[in-house]
Amino acid sequence: MPGVSFGANEYKMGWNAQPTRQVILEDVRVPKSNRLGPEGSGFKIAMAGLDGGRLNIGACSLGGAQSALDKALAYMKQRKAFGKRLDEFQALQFRLADMATELEAARTLLWRAACALDTKAPDATMLCAMAKRFATDIGFDVADRALQMFGGYGYLSEYGVEKIVRDLRVHRILEGTNEIMRLIVARELVGR
């Protein structure tokens, strides 16, 4: 339509598999026949799409972090330091145990929120916000800890973990920042 244009492709820290540009709307005339619902309901329609989107972003964080953990486990089996394989040091085993436990908690909360959304439960929006906030914070943190397990190699692109860390960082920002997720949960709690 006349008035719709796009900004330049943005250079980003990560997420380079998906191009990001501004969508610019200047004096765009949209006919009534294109309306998605009754007048005044646009915000509600847009918000309704976000609950599922938040689960999607949480699931992307979970998958990325699981992949980083799997890569770290494989690396720790072969790398030796001070005469032992890395996966034989109890301090590192405990770190792995925490990472796996936190990912399992994120996975379970995502399932719970997805179930609430599917069944149109009244607390679905709050659960989706909780799951997005938790899975994206934990996902980033687990990926960062996995990178640490590689030592200096973790910082090199060859091993693929630094890319996961850069990609997961944005999940704490988009589809509603994690501060806004807390706002949604807090409003629901205080409202009660």
Ligand X SMILES: Cc1cc2nc3c(=O)[nH]c(=O)nc-3n(C[C@H](O)[C@H](O)[C@H](O)COP(=O)(O)OP(=O)(O)OC[C@H]3O[C@@H](n4cnc5c(N)ncnc54)[C@H](O)[C@@H]3O)c2cc1C
Q: How far apart are CA 149 and CA 59, in angstroms?
A: 23
Q: In the complex with ligand X, which residue's Cβ is closer, 123 or 179? A: 179
161 binds ligand X (CB under 6 A): no
Q: In the complex with ligand X, which residue's Cβ is closer, 79 or 166? A: 166
Which span sits near ligand X by CB under 6 A: 87-95, 131-139, 144-152, 178-186?
A: 178-186
Which span sits near ligand X by CB under 6 A: 88-96, 97-105, 120-128, 171-179?
A: 171-179
CB of 8 to ligand X, least distance (A): 14
177 binds ligand X (CB under 6 A): yes
Q: How far apart are CA 162 and CA 153, in angstroms?
A: 9
| Site map 112..151 versus ligand X, x via CB under 6 A | ----------------------------------------
Q: In the complex with ligand X, which residue's Cβ is closer, 86 or 131? A: 131
| Site map 8..37 versus ligand X, x via CB under 6 A | ----x--x----x-----------------
Q: How far apart are CA 79 and CA 129, in angstroms?
A: 39
Q: Is 175 a catalytic residue?
A: yes
Give the residue, chosen from 55, 76, 176, 184, that forms a contact with ligand X under the rule CB under 6 A.
176
Q: How far apart are CA 188 and CA 28, in angstroms?
A: 36
Q: For the packed helices 178-191 and 124-149, what is the interaxial angle rounded to 10 degrees? A: 140
163 binds ligand X (CB under 6 A): no
Question: Which 3 state secondary structure label does DSSP give 23?
Answer: strand
Cβ atoms of 47 and 37 closer than 8 Å: no
Question: Rounded to 5, what percent of the chain is helix, strand, coil?
Answer: 70, 5, 25
Q: How far apart are CA 14 and CA 65, in angstroms?
A: 15
Q: In the complex with ligand X, which residue's Cβ is closer, 63 or 87? A: 63
Cβ atoms of 12 and 20 closer than 8 Å: yes
Catalytic (active-site) positions:
175
